[in-house]
Amino acid sequence: MVRATAVVPRHTQPRIPPPLTAAPPPRRIRSPFVSRLLRYAALWALAAFFLMPVYVLVVTSFKNPADVSVTRIWELPTSFSLTNFGEVWPKLASGFRNSLSLAIPASLLSSLLGCANGFVLSKIRFPFANVVFPLILFGIFVPYQAIIIPVSQTMTSVGLRGGGDPSGGLFGLMLIHIIYGLPITTLIFRNHFVGLPNTLLESARLDGAGIFRTFVDLAVPLAKPAFAVSIIWQFTSSWNDFMFGAMMTSRDSWPVTIALNNVAGGQAIPFGQAMAGALLVSLPTLVIYVLLGRFFMRGLLAGTLQD
Amino acid sequence: MTAPLHVPRHSSEAPAPRPPQRQRKPRKQRGPAWLAGLLLVSPSLILIGIFVYGFLGWNVRVSFSDWKGLSPSYDFVGFDNYTKLWHDERFRADARNLIVFTVVFVVGSLLLGFLMAMLLDKGVRGEGFFRGVYLFPMAISFIATAIVWRWLLDNGTGEDTAGLNKLFAAVGLDFLRSDWHKSDSMWAIAAVALPAGWALSGYVMALFLAGMRGVPETLRESARLDGASESQIFWHVVRPALRPVMFSALLIMVHISLKAFDLLYALDQGNLRIDTPSLYMWFTTFDGGFYDRGATIATVLLLGVALVVGPYVWYALRTERR
């Protein structure tokens, strides 16, 4: 699914600035110790709330399957075991392969097209630009239910859906992620280019470079940070997508979310395996989040109303 | 598009007698400058035109048809499907569920997100850590989220007490015990706001935090010099500045809530207590073959989202132009 971010930004890359270090002490005289204590207590309580499912996930996954029981999910393991992972991995391995082969090209291509759009929409005066841009933007918010019947019909009739296609629907699914990713990638790049001075492009034009040249030689290299934001964003949404994957793919080409849902869906499945599976499937996006969190953050904030 | 006359847009470009350099310009100008730009964006524009707007129209057309089963039928039946949907018990229950869910989830995640932003705003030790912890659920798929929460929201009783209920019992808060989304009450779906809020309130925090940090320190400083207390500064300086952020956060959350699908699907598939129009659309179309009804539900959803988001896009663009 696309956790669509919002709209149009006045500035380039919204990000959260660091706190001001030299903030003067508040005038109000309440015991600073007590209020600090309360503040940190609240912060830690909230952190516990957000980490609680992670605790359950990790603790259960590493338990010996014999020790796994729903009523004891809060208890620390008495033994360490990788059995749950070993048993669930074969059920998810092809899903991993499918999702990777889908999400990587989808995020690259969608970003490249988005870069071109963002460049043109921000730097070239354009008739009807103020009609075209809102129309693209609205594409971010469209509920996929409202296009999924036509998508399924079209993909079936061109033979890209499910078993009829040698890739089992993966190629069609990739196209879907590219196309429906365009609005958000366009927005991300447009936000980036709006912040670059026009004089740069002006000078390239005076040097005799046409728009294509300017785009390839100047705009693409200048947009590296926006590429990071956009690729991460698109990768995460393609990886986490469920609905399009369920509609498009046949059993052998299930993306990882659908494989996971089927592993964990039945009550017959030991829930230690379900937990281990959920952990495995979350790892790629979590690793990206931990390593490249600031780009992820910018994707989130891409285009809100503030600076 | 007809080829427009080349009217120079910049006044500096067109002084009545042409400056001589203009003829020495190295690049041959074929057509207006934006034509090449249009070429560059045209693949995307065509794709979005067809796959977004063309398909939206197609879906609306299906909603006016009597298409059931695998082979498409486009016989025009007017608003029949809409009137049937209006009297459809399941759809009415779904709409009620969706309203309950939206209100609880949106209000809850806005309050929680705002609280987290307030706590972090002044700068605390380990801010990066807390921010990361509050926000990481955004990176995780709703399917994985639902799998964990399915067990946390377990409703076993007595010996079988598990999940959050077990935790409540262990710390002596037994009265908080709940059947969560499996309860018989029409509020059952409100329990889903818990995993949904877990997943998304960090996002609200990020929006608010960016907004709070965007208030220039000089403004706060001058209020301070005028003798305003910190809470007065918050109320009179920061709060008005946060209004647009509030507006975006609200609309983003409402539209996410209207579209919610994966989380509900994976949390407890087939539980009608947490059924919503987007799930109904999916099952009636792809399991039941009622394409006409599915398309009608989808059109209603689209209208709902457009009502929420349309003014937002318009407002945002207008603010930007100013």
Specify the range with the lowest mean pLDDT, choosing from B73-77, B80-84, B163-167.
Answer: B163-167
Q: Exposed (0-12), middle (13-18) or buried (19+): which is A244, by Cβ within 10 Å?
A: buried
Confidence of residue A22 (pLDDT cuts 50, 70, 90): low
The yes-or-no verdict on residue B9 having pLDDT over 80 is no
Q: Is the pLDDT of residue A8 over 70?
A: no
pLDDT at A106 over 80: yes
Closest CA to A173 of A256, A106, A88: A106
Evaluate if residue A46 carries a pLDDT over 60.
Answer: yes
Q: What is the CA radius of gyration of chain B?
A: 27
DSSP class of B191: G
- Interfacial B residues in 146-175 facing A (CB < 8 Å): 147-149, 151-152, 154, 156, 159-163, 166-167, 170
Best of B51, B168, B309 to mutate (most A CBs within 10 Å, chain A): B51
For residues B301 and B281, is the Cβ–Cβ distance under 8 A?
A: yes
Length of chain A: 307
> In this structure, what are the phi and psi dihedrals at residue A197, rounded to the nearest 5 degrees?
-65, 140
Question: Which residue pairs from B167-170 have beta carbons closer than 8 angstroms and sit at least 24 positions apart in sequence?
Answer: B167/A74, B170/A74
**For residue A173, pLDDT beyond 90:** yes
- pLDDT higher than 50, residue B269: yes
Interface predicted TM-score (ipTM) of this complex, two decimals: 0.86
In the predicted structure, residue A189 carries a pLDDT above the cut 70:
yes
Q: Is A164 exposed, middle or buried (0-12, 13-18, 19+ CB in 10 A)?
A: middle
Report how far residue A10's alpha carbon sits from residue B322's, in angstroms, rounded to the nearest whole number: 10
What is the distance in angstroms between the Cα of B133 and the nearest Cα belonging to chain A?
6
C-alpha angle with apex A104: A102 to A110, nearest 5 degrees?
95
Stated as kind and residue range, the H or E segment containing A154 is helix A145-157
Is the pLDDT assigned to residue B37 strictly greater than 90? no
Selection from A188, A147, A9, A186 nearest residue B313 by Cα: A9
Q: Do the chains contact at A124 and B230, CB–CB below 8 Å?
A: no
Amino acid making up residue A227: F
Residue A28: Cβ-neighbour burial (10 angstroms; 0-12, 13-18, 19+) = exposed
pLDDT tens digits for range A196-209 = 888 877 787 778 77
Of the ranges A188-202, A271-285, B23-37, the best mean pLDDT one? A271-285
- Mutation site, B68, B91, B98, B141, interface A, largest A CB count within 10 A: B141
Distance of alpha carbon B263 from alpha carbon B284, whole angstroms: 18
What phi and psi values does residue B190 have, to the nearest 5 degrees?
A: -60, -30
pLDDT at position B7 over 50: no
Per-residue pLDDT band at A59 (split at 50, 70, 90) = very high
CA-based nearest distance B60→chain A, Å: 8
Joined together, the tokens standing for residue B164 give 């959050």
Q: Does B270 touch chain A (CB under 8 A)?
A: no
Contact flag A257-B143 (C-beta cutoff 8 Å): yes
Query: pLDDT averaged over chain B?
Result: 86
> Is the pLDDT reported for residue B5 higher than 80?
no
DSSP 8-state code for residue B102: H
Rounded to two decimals, what is the model's pTM? Answer: 0.86
Q: For residue B254, give the nearest of B217, B304, B315 by alpha carbon.
A: B304
Q: For residue A16, what pLDDT is reported?
A: 67
Query: Average of pLDDT values for B45-60?
Result: 97
Across the A:B interface, residue pairs with CB atoms under 8 Å apart total 336
CA closest to B296 among chain A residues = A146
Q: Quick one: which H or E segment has residue B219? A: helix B217-225
pLDDT at B20: 47
Q: State the burial class of residue B31 (Cβ atoms within 10 Å of its Cβ: 0-12, 13-18, 19+).
A: exposed
Distance, CA of A207 to CA of A198 (rounded, Å): 14
Task: Place A1 in a pLDDT band, splitting at 50, 70 and 90.
Answer: very low
Q: What is the spatial distance between Cα B275 and Cα B95, in angstroms, rounded to a whole number?
A: 9
Which percentage of chain A shows pLDDT scores above 90? 49
SS3 B206: helix
Average pLDDT (A127-140) is 86
**What b/e sequence results for B166-202 when a residue is b if at least 16 CB atoms lie within 10 Å of its CB, and e otherwise?**
bbbeeeeeeeeebbbbeeeeeebbbbbbbbbbbbbbb
Q: Is the pLDDT of residue B74 over 80?
A: yes
CA dihedral B75, B79, B85, B86 (to 10 degrees): -170
Nearest residue of A to residue B131 by CA position? A47
Cα–Cα distance for residue pair A278/B69, rounded to 1 Å: 35
- B198-206 mean pLDDT: 94
Contact across the interface for B262 and A243, Cβ inside 8 Å: yes
Tens digits of per-residue pLDDT, B159-192?
Answer: 788 888 888 888 888 888 888 888 888 899 999 9
Instruction: Report the alpha-carbon distance of residue A164 to residue B69 in Å, rounded.
Output: 19
A19 — pLDDT class (breaks 50, 70, 90): low
Contact B223, B233 (CB under 8 A): yes
Contact A62, A250 (CB under 8 A): no
Decide if B109 touches A, using CB distance below 8 A: no
Rounded Cα–Cα distance for residues A44 and A41 (Å):
5
Q: Rounded distance, CA A8 to CA A301, Å?
A: 10
Q: Rounded CA gap, A301 and A287, in Å?
A: 20
Mutation site for A-interface testing, chosen from B41, B258, B308 by largest number of A Cβ within 10 Å: B41
How confident is the model at residue B216, as a pLDDT?
Answer: 85
Question: Which one, of B85, B294, B64, lies nearest residue A153 by Cα?
Answer: B294
Surface-to-core class of residue B138, CB atoms within 10 Å of its CB (0-12 exposed, 13-18 middle, 19+ buried): buried
DSSP per-residue string spanning B286-306:
IIT--HHHHHHHHHHHHHHHH
Calpha distance A40→A38 (Å, rounded): 6
What separation in angstroms does the CA of A303 have from each of A1, A116, B16, B248, B252? 19, 18, 42, 10, 12
Q: Dump pLDDT digits (tens) for A242-264.
A: 999 999 998 889 999 999 999 88
